[in-house]
Amino acid sequence: MASYTYPLTMPTTGFVQSSWKLVRAVSVSQSPFTGESQTIEYDKALWSCTVSLPPMRRSTAALWQSFFMKLHGRKGTFLLGDPDAKTIQGVLTGTATVQAAKAVGVDAINITVPSSGNSGNVILKAGDYLQLDTGADARLYMVVNDATASSVANVSIDIEPPLKKAITTSTAIDYTSAQAVMRMDNNDLGWDANHISTYGISFSCTEAQ
C-alpha cells in the first residue's frame, strides 16, 4: 500500500480565481435592555480559501486528480499560500532569522536580516506574508504594519494572527513563498469535464492545526 508524506506539494498550475480569508472565533453578548455588548475572542484563527483552476486538458487535469487521490479526502494536508500575494511588497534581501524566542499568543516578533542592502529599507509592508517553520509545522502570518530595518538590521514585525506555535532562534522564516498547511473542507474531491476533454476544477480548504 502506498504511503504519502504530508503535507503534499500541489501541482504548479496557477489559479484563475481565489477567495482568501482569516476565520476567527469571537462571541458577542448584547444586553437586550441597554444595548451594551461584551466580546470574547477565542484562540481560533484559521486561514481559509476557495480557488478555481483555469480550463485544462486531461494531461494537466491528471496531475490534480492524482493530487486529490493522495490526500484521501480530509485526511491529508498540503501547502498553500495566498495566490495573489506570492511576493512581498517590501525590499528585503538575504536570509531572515528569528532574533528572540517568542511564546504562543504574541503578535510581534523580532527578526534579524543582513544589514547590507537592507538597512533603512521598509523590508516588509502591511499585507505581506511570512511563513514561520517548515513542513507540517509551517504557520502563515500577515504583516500588519510596515517594518523598517535599523542600522544593525534588527526589525520588529507586527503580525496577525498571533503566534500559533512558539518560535525560537532556530525557527525558519520564509518570505519568498510563504504558505500554510491546509486541509480540504470536504471529503468529496472531484472535477468536471466536457465533450472535448476540457476540465474544470475548484476546491475549498482551511488551515490545519
Ranges under pLDDT 50 in the chain: none
pLDDT at res. 89:
96
Q: Give the whole-angstrom CA distance, residue 106 versus residue 100.
A: 12
Q: Give the whole-angstrom CA distance, residue 149 versus residue 121.
A: 6
Q: Find how far residue 33's CA is from the centre of its chain.
A: 42
Q: Give the whole-angstrom CA distance, residue 175 versus residue 108.
A: 16
- At residue 58, φ and ψ (nearest 5 deg) are -60, -35
Q: Give the whole-angstrom CA distance, residue 105 versus residue 34.
A: 33
pLDDT at res. 116:
84
Residues 57-98 have pLDDT tens digits of: 999 999 999 999 999 999 999 999 999 998 999 999 999 999
pLDDT at res. 141:
98
With vertex at residue 72, the alpha carbon angle to CA 68 and CA 76, rounded to the nearest 5 degrees, is 90
pLDDT at res. 1:
61
